[in-house]
Structure 1
């Protein structure tokens, strides 16, 4: 595996841990941890599988070595946030397919989750971009 792929995987592990913690906090604050919280936790597995497969493809096939350091920073930040957006949307979509018609509370929870975790995901993406911009060997 190339160095950018390893850095992306480390950042994605942090992302999945943050998503698990964020959903747990929102479930106990918003839905009070009842039986309605089970469908929400099931979307973590498909979302993390999507994240890691997209992270592998981005780390292996993007031309990281040809870019200047400032472009690697912005590309790393953009790729990481894009992976988060795609995996979150597809994870909640898969949850909707599995459990059928969901109430509006679930989609409000998705918007709250997306709003509050996006800020932290961008911070992790900035750290990833800094590490990618400092790479000498690929």
Structure 2
């Protein structure tokens, strides 16, 4: 039985389900399901939060995962990227107040920055030699 971890709901779920359908794999997914069994294939879909998918693959709970590279980078787990699927892209954006006299990244020196991706942001700031206080937020 092949176990594929996918996002339970959200933007990646819709694209992933369409991709699987194009491959002939379909499964009935209830709104509160954790596992969906594919029809006609030895495949189980593990329906997880996107930030849990890299760890599920790294630990062997899932054989494969479909998730954004940002989640893999943030978790820092050792998984093999097989192929980019062409959806789910993202970028790191830093916001400043409209009235700020922003002249470049140096503006963030000494600032507090809230993010859902503290590891990625920390690496970025270190690479750019910017010293800022990072606060982790979720949701």
Same fold (TM over 0.5): no
Bigger Cα Rg: 2
TM-score by length of 2: 0.30
TM-score by length of 1: 0.30
Task: Specify which structure has the bigger relative contact order, considering alpha-carbon pairs within 8 angstroms and separated by 6 or more residues.
Answer: 1
Q: Of Structure 1 and Structure 2, which has the larger fraction of its residues in helix?
A: 1
Q: Of Structure 1 and Structure 2, which has the larger fraction of its residues in strand?
A: 2
